[in-house]
Amino acid sequence: AGGSDDEADDTGGEITGDEPMTERTFTAPTSVLPDDMQWNAANDSNYPDRPGFVVFDQLVYFRATTGEFAEGALADWEVGDDAATLTLQDDLTWHNGEDATAEDLVRKLHISLYDNHPIGNFTSVENVEAVDDTTVEVGLEADVSEPVFLNSIQNMELDTPAEQYQDILEELENDPESTALADFAPEEPIGTGPFQYDSSGEQELVTTKFEDSHWADDVNFAEYRFRFIDGNEQAWQALRGGSVDALHNIFTSPDIMASFPDHVVEIQQPANWGLSIAFDHDHKHFGQREVRKAIAHVVDREVVAENSAGGGDAKAPVGTPTGIVGNFDDSAAEWLDDPDAFEDYAGNNTERATELLESAGFSREDGTWVDADGETLTFEFKVPAAWNEWVDAAITINQHLQDFGVQTNLVTRDDGVYFGQDLYGDTGFDIAGFWWSDGWTYPYHTLNWNLNSADAKNVYNYSESIELPPIGDPDGETETLEFAPEFEELVGMDQDAEETRQKINELAWAFNYDLPQLPIQEKVDQCFVATENFSVVDDSDPDASVKYPTTYLPRIGKLVAKEE
Amino acid sequence: MSTDEPVVSMDGVDVHFETEDGLNPFEDPRTVRAVDSVDLEIPENDVVAIVGESGSGKTTLGKAAVGLQRPTGGTVSYRGQDVWEAKKRFSNPSIPYDEIRRSLQIIHQDPGSSLNPHRTVEASLAEPLKKYQTDLGPEDREARILAMLERVGMAPPHDYAQRYPHQLSGGEKQRVALVRALLMNPDLILADEAVSALDVSLRVEVMDLMLDLQEQFDTSFLFISHDLSNARYLAEHAGGRLGVMYLGELVELGEAQEVLQNPQHPYTKVLKWATPSLSLEEGAAEPPVREIDIPDPVDPPSGCRFHTRCPHATEHCKMTAPDVRSVDDGARAHRASCFRLEEDGEYWESEPLEGAQLDEE
Amino acid sequence: MQRYYVERTLQAIVTVVSVMSLAFFLLRLMPGNPADAYRAELIQNNPQMTQAEIDHRVERKLNVIPDAPLHEQYINYVTGLLQGDLGESINEGVPVAEIIAEALPWTIFTMATALLLSFAIGVSLGAMMAYKEGSYFDNGFSVGSILFNSIPNYIVGILLIWFLGYRFELFPTGGRYSTEMDPTVALLEPLQTLAFLGDAVWHAALLIASYTVVAAGGWALRMRGNSIQILGEDYLRVARLRGLSERRIATRYVGRNAVLPLYTALLIAIGFALGGSVILEQVFTYPGVGYYMIEGLEARDYPLMMGVFLVMTVAVVLGVYIADLTYGIIDPRAQTRGGEH
Amino acid sequence: MSGRIDHSESDAVATESRSDAVLTCRDLTVEFHMDRGTSTVLNGLDIDVERNEIIGVVGESGSGKSMFASALLDAVVDPGVTSGTITYRPTDGREVDVLELSDDRLRQLRWEEISMVFQGALSSFNPTLTLRGHFAETLEAHDYDVEDGMERTRELLADLYLDPDRVLDSYPHELSGGMKQRALIALSLVLEPEVLVMDEPTAALDLLMQRSIVSLLDDLRDKYDLTMVFITHDLPLVTKLADRIGVLYAFELAEVGRTEEILRSPTHPYTRALLNSTPDIDSPLEEMRPIEGSAPDPVNVPSGCPYHQRCPISTEDCATVKPPMEPVTETHDVACHHRDRADEIELTAEVDG
Amino acid sequence: MSERSERTGTEPLHAIDDGDAFEAVSETTLTRKERYQRLVDRWLLAPGRIVWSVRRARIGAGIILLYVILGLIGPALYKEPRTNQGPRSVAPLAEGLAYPLGTDNLGRDILAQIVHATPSMLQMIAAGGLFVTVMGVTVGTVAGYSGGRTDRVLSLVTDIVMTIPGLPLIVILAALLEPQNPIVTGLILTVNVWAGLAREIRSQVLSISRHSYVEASQAMGLSTPSIIVKDILPNIMPYVLITFVNAARQVIFASVGLYFLGVLPYDSVVNWGVMIDQAVSGGAMHVASMAHWLIAPLATITLLSFGLILFSQGTDRMFNPRVRARHASTTGSDDESTEAGGSAAATAGTGGGIR
Ligand SMILES: Nc1ncnc2c1ncn2[C@@H]1O[C@H](COP(=O)(O)OP(=O)(O)OP(=O)(O)O)[C@@H](O)[C@H]1O
Ligand SMILES: Nc1ncnc2c1ncn2[C@@H]1O[C@H](COP(=O)(O)OP(=O)(O)OP(=O)(O)O)[C@@H](O)[C@H]1O
Ligand SMILES: [Mg+2]
Ligand SMILES: [Mg+2]
C-alpha cells in the first residue's frame, strides 16, 4: 500500500542533493488533449495548467503548511506601506534564449492589470515600473499586508515573453477593451521554467530539461512528459499500470490507494478549502440564526468528512466553525485566544437543535418540523452532480437532517447550471453545497470570504452587519458589527500585530455565533508519486505542501530521478 | 320493403384504380380499369352469378354493388337511393345510410380470413346483434345465435359458439360467415367465391344452404365464382341469372340456363370448355383461345378486350369495342357484347387476326 | 419508381431540417449556457482564483457567445450551414467542422467494425441455431443471445475494462492509439501503417467488443427467426428434392433469403451507431463524435453539439434512405412492391 | 385392422400378374408419432403405376393424397415414418427399392428418375433466384451438361406456351400463377425423368388455366414418354387426362380402376357419393348432393371400413371387419363388403360419352 | 324447396323452426357470478395458464413478478438504506445476513438500496413502456387504418421522429427538463421510441385491414373505433407486448446510461443507475473488495431485462387464439397440435437497446 507510514524505502531513498543527471522521463497526466493545447493562460480554451507549472515559473510559491512564501521567478520581495519591490532571479532565461528581465515582469503585470487581475485592487498600470534589470516597483494605493499582497500575485506565472506578448500589450495600451489577449493561442509556450516545450502528439506532450533555467542544477532528469488522461479511473489505472509516475491531485479513497503498487507514495497537502453548507439568508427559515445553528448541531461533521473521504483522512472535519482554516493539523485554533469560548457544534446534538428550533417557534409534528405558521421546515439541498465527494457528503448530511425531521431532498445539478445559475445566477437555492474558504491560510482571506465578500452578499445574501454579543457569551449584550470597515482595516494590518489577532478573534466569533455558512470539512489534496524510478521527500517537508509537489519539488531537487 | 325498385341497381359503374409506382415520374399514373361501365340491376329475391377469370373484376364489381367499393364513375343505388350520396355527411337521404349498410352484406371467398381469429364464434356473431338489435339482452343474443347456428347445421350449437375460427372447418367457417351476414337481415348478400375454397363435397352443401336461406329470408344473392359449374348450380337452382366478366366488362348476362346452353360471347364458350365435366369424351384438347395467359388488366387490349385471345377476332375487333346487344327480348334479357351477334357489319368483312378464324369449326 | 426516389429524397431533406431545427431550439432552451459551464470549469480547476477573476473570465466568455435574438441566430446558423460552415466551437475555439473531421473517422472505424463484426457473428450463429433448432446448441446460444441482449453495451464495456483492461491489463482502456505510435497510413510504409492500424485496433478492441457482443445477440436472434421461417418454406423442400447440395441450400436459399430482410436493419443500425457511440466512447474515453457530444454538452458548446447532432442525424437519415432506395436492388422481391417495406 | 394382413397377401398375388409397372407400392404406410398418439396418414397402400400411364389419385382434403405423393419419392416431411415397399423399375429392367436407397442414390433417383410438382407451386421457387438459376442449379446438382440442359429447358418452356427468354430472366414473383406453375412443370422435366408425380398442380389456378395445363400435360406425356401420377381433389379435372383413377379415402385406397370404370360403374359407396357431389355443368340440375359427415381423424381412424360411419349402406360388419381390396374386373379393384349392393346408392351423375 | 332442405340433411335436427331462429330468445339468464367467472377466466386465468405452459414465459414472468413484488412490498419489509448503517465496503455475506449484498462506500446496505430503488425504477419502466405503447399503437393504427392524407402526415412525422438520434436527444431533453419524477424520466427516455412501433404497427394494420373480416365488420356498419379495438388490436397485441418490453429495456438501459454519464439529476431516492455511477466513480472497478458494489446493480438490471425478454418471447402465445382455445376452461378441448419453437417476432432489437 502507498501509505506514507513506511519511511525511507517508500520515498525511494534519501535525497542527498547531488544526484547525478539521468536520462529518465517523468510522466504525469494532463486532461487536455496535447494536440489541442494552446499556451495562453488568458485564453479560455484548452490551456494545460498542469504542464504550465513546469514550463512557466510562478512569481512566488506558497507553502501551505507553514503559510510561508518561497522564491519562484522572484528572488526577493518587500511589501511596504506604499510600495512593493519585486526582485527577479538574476539568472532567469526565457526558453528562446533571451534573458528574463524586469521589463518582462512589468509586461506581465501590465497585461494582468489590463486583464483585471486582483492586484488591481491595490495598484494600477501607471504604478508598475522597472527600477533596474531585475527589480520592479509596484506603487500601492492603499495599505496591504504582505501575505495579502503575495497571495494576490502567487498564482501569477512569468509567461509573457516579448516575442509573443509585446504586440498584445501594445494593443491593450491602445485599447483596453481589446480582445487580442483572450484570442491569442500560441501553439508552443515560451517560459522560464525548468522544462521547455519539445513536442506534442495525440496522447502526449513532451517537455525537455531547460539547461539554462534557474533550477537546472537541481533537476536531474531529461524529460517531463504529460500523458492525456481523462477521468479519475483512467488516472488511477495509469498510475497502477506504470504509464505515469505521478498524479497531481486526485481524491483517492483508501480502498483505491490500497490497489496501488507499494512504491507509490501519497503526498498530502492542505488544500485550505472545503465543503460548507451555504444558507440562503433571505429564506424565511434559513435567515434565522436558530435554524442555522440547529442544523449545525444536527449534522455530524466527523461522519460526513469520513464518508466523503471514503473512510480515509483526505477530508478533515471542521472542529469549531470559526471561519479559519487549519483543521487539518489543528492550526486553526492557534489563531484563537480562547478556543473554548467558541461553540463547537460537535457531534449530533439533537437536544440542543430541538431547543434552538423550539425557541424559534418551530414544533415537531409527526416527526417533522413545522414553524409557527404551519410551514414545514423543508428544502432542496443542491450539489453539483459531478463532484462525487460532495455528493457523498451531501447524502450523509441529508441523512442526518432527515433523521432529525427536517424534510430535505438532495438534488444533483449539472455543474454549469449549479454554478452558473443556482449559485451565481437567478435560480437560487435554499441550501447548497459551497465552500467556506478559498485556499489561503491567512484568516483575513477566509473570514472576508465568508462575511464580507461579494459572494457572501450575492450568493447567500448575507447581511452587511450583525448584532454581536461578546465573545463566549452568546446571551450577552449585543453590539452592531459592520463587516466592511472591519476588513478594510484588517487588510492593511501587520499580520503579526496583537491588534490584528484581536480583530481576527472578533470576526471569528462573529462567524461562530452567526454561522453565515456551516463549514463541514477541509480538504486535503492528494498527490501520488511512484518511487520506482524517482525519489521524493516525505510530505512532512513544508516544500511538499507547495502546489503541486509534482511540479515544484523537481525545481528544488526534492523530487529526483534515481540513478539508472 | 315492397317497392318495385330493384334492391341494387348499378348504372354505368366504373371502378378504376390508380397504381402509384409508375416508372416515370412525369408519366400519368397507370390505371387499372377493374370495372368498366357495367349496368346491372339486382331485384329483390334474385340470384345473380358472376363468372370470370381471376383479375377480371368480379370482386370489385361485387363490392361496388354492396357499397363497399366506391365507383369512380356511374351510380350505385339501393332501392333508388344513391348509396354514396347517402353516405355523405350532410346529405338527407330517403333511406339512411345505416339502413343501406345493414341491407347489403358480404361473405368472403377465403373462409380462413373471414372471421376474426381472436374472437369466438359467439363473439363474432354477437356484433351485428349488438349493433342492430339493441333491445336484446346478452342471454337473448346468445339464444338467437345458438338458434341460428343450429339452423345452419352446426350442432351442438353451444359447443360451436365457444370455438375459435381455427377450430372450425372451412365449411363451418363459411356457415358462420353466412349466419353473420344473415343476422343483419340484409336484402342482398354478396357471396364472393364463397365456396371456391371448400372441398368439393362441401361446396354443394354450402350452396344448398345458401339457396335454402335465400328462399327463407327473401334475400338476393350476388354470387361470384370463377367456376362455371358452381355458378350454374346456384343460379339455375334459384332461377337466377348468370353474368360473365372479362377484364372489367360484363360481356354476357342472361338467364343461367340460357347463357349456358346458348352462349353468345366466345369467351363464355371458352369458360364452358374450361369447366371440366365428368364426361369421358375427349373434349377439344386444345383450348379454344389463341393465348392462354390473360392480358395485363393495367393495360387492357384496345377494341374488344378479348381480341387478343379470341379465336374469331378480326382486325375490326382490334379497333372497335362492341356494344351490348340483346340476344332476345324480355325483362331479363340475355345480352352480350360481341360483333358476331350482328348479322352483318364491318366485322364480317375484316381480316381475321393471326390464328383466328371467322367461323366456328 | 423515380417519383418514389424524388419523394424519398425530399423526405430525407425535410427530416434533417426538422431535426436540426428542433435540436437548435432545444439546445438553447437547456438550462445553463456556455458561460455558466465555463464558470463551473474555472471554479473546479482553480479553487484559488478569486471571484473577480472568474467573473472577468466569464464575462469575456460571454462576448464569444452570440447574443442575437434566437431566430436571427437560427438564420445565421442555417445560412452558415448551407455554406458548409458548422460554426466555431465556443469551448475549443476551433471550427466545429475541424473537430468533427478529426473525430468522425474514429467513430466510423469503431462502429463500422463493431457492427459488421456483430452482424457476421450474429448471422452465422443465428443460422446455425436455426439449423439445429431445438438442440442443446440452439437452446444454449438462444439463452446466451438473449442474455447478452439484456445487458447494455456500456455495461459490457465497463466489465471488459474492468477485467481485460484493469485486472489483466491486456488492453488499453482509452485513447485512439499508443503515444509512441506515429499515425501513418501510407502505402509506401506498409510496415508502419500495419503497426499503426494494429495498434489502433488494439486500442479500440474493447469498445468494439462491447458493442459487438450485445449487438450480435440481437442479430443472432433475428437471423434465427428468419431462418427457421425459411426452413419451413415450400421452396426449400423442393430444392432438397431437386438434389441441391446442402451447402447451396444453406447459402443460396436459407442464408441469402434470411439475411436479406436484415439488410435494412443493418443499414439503419449503421445510421444509429453514431448516436449509440455516445455512452461507449465516454466509458472508453475514446475521442470520437460521441465523446465530443458529451464534451459539448458539459460546456454547453452549442455549435459543437449542433455539429455532432447534425452528423448523427445525417447518418441515420442516410442509413434509412440508402436502405429504402437500395432494398429493391438487393432483394428482387421488393422491386415490384415499390415503397412498401 | 384384422383384415389387413391377408388382404395384402392376396393383393400381392393379384398384382403380380400385372405387366409393366414402373412403380409398385406395397403396404405403403406413413405414420407420424405425436403426443396424442400415432397418426397414420397413409395406411397400407397397394398400388401399381404402369409405364406411360397417367394415374389420377383423388380424395377429399386430408385424405392422404399429398402423403402418398411424398412417399413415392421417399420425401415425407420429418418426423413422418414411411414403411412398406416401393419398387421402381427403370426401362433397363432393374428393380430399385426406393425406401431402401442410400442417401446418394436417393438424391439421384429424385428428379432424375422420379420428379415431382408440388401442391404449393406458387411458393416452390426461391424468391431471390431467377428461373434460369433454378434450372441451372438443378442441372449442376445432378452433373448434367448445363448447356444441353438449358436447350432442353427452352424447348420445354416453349412446349408449355411460355416465352423462354422472358421467363428464364424473371424472378418468380414476376410471373403469374399460371406461368409459375408451367415453369415448375418444366423444371420437373428438365432432367428427363421417367415418372412425374404431381400433387394438385393446378389447385390455385383459374379453371381456364387448369384446363389448359391439363391438356398440355397430355401432350407432354406423349412427347416425353412420361408416366404421371396426378393427384387432385377435383375429380372432373382428372377424368379427361387419366387412364386410371384411384380413390383415396381416409388414408386408404377405396377403389382403383380405369377412368371409365370409375365413372360408369363406381362400386365403392364413397366413390359414388363423390361423383354425386361433384358439380357439373352438363348433368341435370337436381343431381348433386353432398357427402354427409366429415373426414376421419388420422389418429382415430374408425375400425373396420373407415367409411362405415358415413356410408348409407353400411352394416354391422362394416364397423368391425376391414374390407379387403378385391378386383371387380381385371382392371378395377374395390375395398367394400357390399360391392354388390353398390347400386343401392343412386348414381345421379350421369356420365355420357 | 322443402325438397332441397330435406336433401341438405346435414342439419341433424331442426329443433327450432326456420323462422324462429331469427326470433329466438333465451329462457335462462346467466347469473352475474357466472358471467364474472367467465370474464375472469378469459382475461386472467387463461393467459396465466398459457404463460405457465411455456418455459421461457414462465421463467420470464417469474422474474418480472419477483421485481414487482420487490417493488410493491420490498420497501416495507426490508430496511431502508441509510448512510453509515454498517461499516464501509463490507463484502456480501461477510457479516452473515446483516448485509446480504454488502455495503457501499457510505456504509449503506446494498440490498436495501436495490430494494428501495425498485418502485421508482418500475414506475419509470411502466411509464416509458406505456407511453411508447399508447403512442405507437394510436399513431400506427390511425395512420394505417385511415390512410390517405392522415396517413401521409402521420407517417412523415413518425419517420422524422424515428430518425432523431435517440440518445443525444434524450441527453438534451434530460438536461433541459431535469426530470426527478421517475414517470417523467420514463417518458423522456422513450421520447422517440414510439415511432418505431408506430411504423411497424402501421404496416401490420395495413395488412390486417386487408383481411376480409375487417371488411365484413365495415359491411356491418360497425364504427371505426370498434373495428380497430376488436378486429385489429388483438392481432397486433403480441407485437405491442414485445415493443413494450423493448421500451422497458430502453428505459432501463438509457436511464442507467444517463445516470452513469451524470446527465440525469438524481435525488435522495436511490436508483440502480446512480448506484452504478457511484460504484464506478467510487472505484469499485479498481478494488476487488468493492466489486460487489458494482456487480449488484449490474446483475439487478440484467436480470430484469433478461426476464422481460423471456417473457415477451413467450407471450405471443398468450394472444394466439389457438393456444388460448386450448387453455380456456369454458371451451371444449382442442386437438390442434402445438407448433414448436419460439417466435421470430420476439427477437429484440440490436444495438443494445439505445440508438
Ligand atoms: N385496391 C386495388 N388497387 C389497385 N388495383 C386493384 C385493387 N383491387 C383490385 N385491383 C385490380 O383490379 C383488377 C380486378 O380485381 P378483382 O379483385 O375485382 O378481380 P377478381 O375477378 O375478383 O379476381 P379473383 O378471381 O382473383 O378474385 C385486378 O387486376 C386487380 O389487380
Ligand atoms: N407434418 C405432419 N405431421 C402430422 N400430420 C400431418 C402432417 N402433414 C399432414 N398431416 C396429416 O396427414 C393427413 C393427410 O395429409 P395430406 O396432406 O396427405 O392430405 P391431402 O389429401 O393432400 O389434403 P389436401 O387436399 O388438403 O392437400 C392429414 O390429416 C394431415 O392433417
Ligand atoms: Mg375476387
Ligand atoms: Mg395435399
Is the pLDDT at D154 greater than 80? The verdict is: yes
Sign of the torsion angle spanned by Cα atoms B169, B174, B176, B177: positive
**Hey, are the CB atoms on B23 and C339 less than 8 Å from each other?**
no
Q: Do B200 and D234 touch (CB under 8 A)?
A: yes
Q: Which atom of ligand 2 is nearest to the CA of D32?
A: 4
CA of E237, closest CA in chain B: separation in Å? 11
A119 to chain E, minimum CA–CA distance in Å?
A: 38
What was the pLDDT predicted at D114?
92
B255 in a structural domain: yes
- Cα(D84)–Cα(D94) distance, integer angstroms: 19
Mutual orientation of helices E110-146 and E233-261 as an angle, nearest 10°?
Answer: 140
d(Cα D152, Cα B104) in Å, to the nearest integer?
A: 54
| Gap from CA of B52 to ligand 1 centroid (Å) | 12
Query: In chain C, which residues have their Cβ closer than 8 Å to the Cβ of B23?
Result: 1-2
CB atoms within 10 A of CB B90: 4
Interaxial angle between packed helices E166-177 and C289-299, expressed in degrees from 0 to 180 and rounded to the nearest 10: 10
Residue E353 included in any domain: no
Q: pLDDT band for position A94 (50/70/90)? A: very high
Residue E23 is assigned to a structural domain of this protein: no
The single-letter DSSP state of residue A341 is G
Residue B252 pLDDT: 92
Residues E316, E345: contact at Cβ < 8 Å?
A: yes
pLDDT winner (highest mean) among B89-98, D118-127, D315-324:
D315-324
B318 domain-assigned: yes
Residue D16 CB partners (closer than 8 Å, separation 6+): none
**Is residue E313 predicted with pLDDT exceeding 50?**
yes
Backbone phi, then psi, for C112, in 5-degree steps?
-65, -45
pLDDT bucket at E351, cuts 50 / 70 / 90 = very low
Residue C1 forms part of a structural domain:
no
Q: What are the C-alpha distances in Å from B57 to residues B33, B115, B310, D45, E151? A: 8, 24, 19, 44, 27
- Whether residue E237 lies inside any domain: the answer is yes
Rounded distance from Cα C235 to ligand 4 centre (Å): 16
Specify if C59 maps to a domain.
yes
Closest by Cβ to D107, choosing from C235, C243, C260: C243
Taking the C-alpha atoms of residue A391 and residue A384, their distance in angstroms, rounded to an integer, is: 7
Q: Could you tell me if the CB of D249 is within 6 A of ligand 2?
A: no
Q: What's the whole-number average pLDDT of chain A?
A: 88
| B28 touching chain C per CB within 8 A | no
Spatial strand order in the sheet of B81-82 = B30-42, B8-19, B73-78, B81-82
Helix, strand, coil percentages for chain B (3-state, nearest 5): 35, 20, 45
Residue D298 to residue D167: CA distance in whole angstroms: 41
Q: What value does the mean pLDDT take over residues E290-315?
A: 86
Query: Closest ligand 1 atom to the C-alpha of B58?
Result: 21
- How many structural domains does chain B have? 1
Average pLDDT, integer, range E145-173: 83
Query: B142-162, pLDDT tens digit by residue?
Result: 888 888 888 887 778 888 888
User: Is residue D121 over pLDDT 70?
Assistant: no
Contact C335 D171 (CB under 8 A): yes
Q: Which of B205, B108, B219 is nearest to B165 (CA)?
A: B108
State the cell numbers at D204.
390455385
pLDDT band at D131 (very low <50, low <70, confident <90, very high): very high
Q: Do chains B and C touch (3 or more CB pairs under 8 A)?
A: yes
Of A186-195, C4-13, C104-113, D187-196, give the lowest mean pLDDT range. Answer: C4-13
Closest Cα in chain E, distance from residue A369 (Å): 19
Residue E195 lies in a domain: yes
pLDDT at C335: 52
More confident residue, C338 or E169: E169
Which candidate, B44, B81, B40, places its Cα nearest to that of B64?
B40
CA-based nearest residue in chain A for residue C183 = A202
Helix then strand then coil, in percent of chain C rounded to 5, is 80, 0, 20
Residue C9 lies in a domain: no
Number of inter-chain CB pairs under 8 A, A vs E:
83
Closest Cβ–Cβ partner in C35, C51, C176 for A420:
C35
- Judge: D34–E8 Cβ closer than 8 Å, yes or no: no
What's the pLDDT at E329?
A: 52
CATH fold of D21-242 reads Rossmann fold (3.40.50)
Burial status of residue A470 (CB atoms within 10 A of its CB: 0-12, 13-18, 19 or more): middle
* Three cell numbers written together for E231: 378486429
Confidence label for A510 from pLDDT (cuts 50, 70 and 90)? very high
The CA-based diameter of chain A, rounded to the nearest angstrom, is 76
In a domain, C332, yes or no: yes
- Nearest atom within ligand 2 for CA of residue D65: 21
pLDDT score at C2: 67
Q: Which three cell numbers stand for residue E159?
A: 419517420
- Whether E347 is in a domain gets the answer no
Max CA pair span of chain C: 87
* C-alpha–C-alpha distance, residues A131 and A122, integer Å: 19
Residue A479's DSSP bridge partners are A468
Q: Which pLDDT score, from 0 to 100, does residue C179 have? A: 64
The span from the CA of B237 to the CA of B231, in Å, is 10
At A240-291, the pLDDT tens digits run 888 899 998 888 888 888 888 899 999 998 888 889 999 999 998 899 999 9
Give yes or no for A103 touching C (CB within 8 A): no
Nine-digit cell at B235? 343460379
Which ligand has its closest atom nearest to the C-alpha of D68?
Answer: 2
Closest atom of ligand 1 to CA, residue B226 = 25
Amino acid letter for position A70: A
Q: Other CB atoms closer than 10 Å to residue A14's CB: what's the count?
A: 9
Asked if the structure places residue E230 within a domain, the reply is yes
Question: Cα–Cα distance between E355 and E353 in angstroms, integer?
Answer: 6
> What's the pLDDT band for E274 if we cut at 50, 70, 90?
confident
pLDDT tens track for B102-142:
899 998 877 778 888 888 888 888 888 888 888 878 888 88
pLDDT above 50 (res D309): yes
Greatest alpha-carbon span in chain D? 64
Q: Determine, yes or no, domain membership for B343.
A: yes
Query: Do the domain assignments include residue C177?
Result: yes
Please state, rounded to an integer, the average pLDDT across all residues of chain B. 83
Q: Can you state the angle between helices E148-163 and E110-146, rounded to 10 degrees? A: 150
Q: Which residues of chain C have pLDDT under 50?
A: 336-341
Average pLDDT over residues A11-20: 71
Q: Give me the domain span that covers residue E71.
A: 44-318
Closest Cα to residue A462, out of A533, A403, A514? A514
The confidence score (pLDDT) of residue C277 equals 83
Domains held by chain C: number: 2
Decide if D285 touches B, using CB distance below 8 A.
yes
Chain E residues lying within 8 Å of A299, measured CB to CB: none
Question: Confidence band (pLDDT; 50, 70, 90) for E191?
Answer: confident
- Cell 401521409 sits at which residue? E152
Q: Would you say residue B144 lies in a domain? A: no
The answer to whether chain E touches chain D by having 3 or more C-beta pairs less than 8 angstroms apart is yes
Domains of chain D, by residue range, sit at 21-242, 259-344
> Tens digit of pLDDT for each residue in B146-205?
888 888 877 788 888 888 888 887 788 888 888 888 888 889 999 988 887 777 777 888
Q: Please, which pLDDT band fits residue A15 given cuts at 50, 70 and 90?
A: confident
Closest partner residue to C221 (CB to CB) among E163, E286, E348 is: E348
Cα gap E202→C340, rounded to integer Å: 11
Question: Would the pLDDT of E51 be above 80?
Answer: no
Number of domains in chain E: 1
Residue C101: how many other CB atoms lie within 10 Å: 11
How large is the average pLDDT for residues E209-220? 85
The CATH number for E68's domain is 1.10.3720
Touching, B vs E (3+ Cβ pairs under 8 A): yes
**Closest CB from C15, C214, C317 relative to E352:** C214
Residue B100 belongs to a domain? yes
| Mean pLDDT confidence for D22-48 | 88
Residue E130 covered by a domain: yes
Determine the pLDDT at residue D288.
67
Strand partners, B35: B15
Domain of residue C66 covers 32-85
- What is the pLDDT at residue E2? 38
pLDDT bin (cut points 50, 70, 90) of residue E348 is: very low
Q: What is the pTM of this model?
A: 0.82
Q: A57: part of which helix (H) or strand (E)?
A: strand A57-58
Per-residue model confidence (pLDDT) at position E29 = 61
Percent helix / strand / coil, chain D, rounded to 5 = 40, 20, 40
Beta-ladder partners of B156 = none
In the numeric block, the cell 444517463 is attached to: E258
- pLDDT computed for residue A76 by the predictor: 93
Per-residue model confidence as pLDDT tens digits over B230-289:
888 888 888 889 999 999 899 999 998 888 888 889 999 888 888 877 776 665 567 788
For residue A330, give the C-alpha cell.
Answer: 489543528
Greater confidence (D102 vs E353) lies with D102
Q: Residue E6 has what pLDDT?
A: 38
Grid cell locating A313: 483522512
Note the pLDDT of residue A553: 93
**What ipTM does the predicted assembly reach?**
0.79
> Could you report how far apart the first and last alpha carbons of chain A are, in Å?
25
Whether residue D128 and residue C257 make contact (CB cut-off 8 A), yes or no, is yes
Question: Measured between alpha carbons, how far apart are the two ends of chain B, in Å?
Answer: 51
Among A398, A402, A413, select the one facing E265 at the smallest CB separation: A413
The predicted structure's pLDDT at residue D286:
64
Ligand at shortest distance from the CA of D295: 2
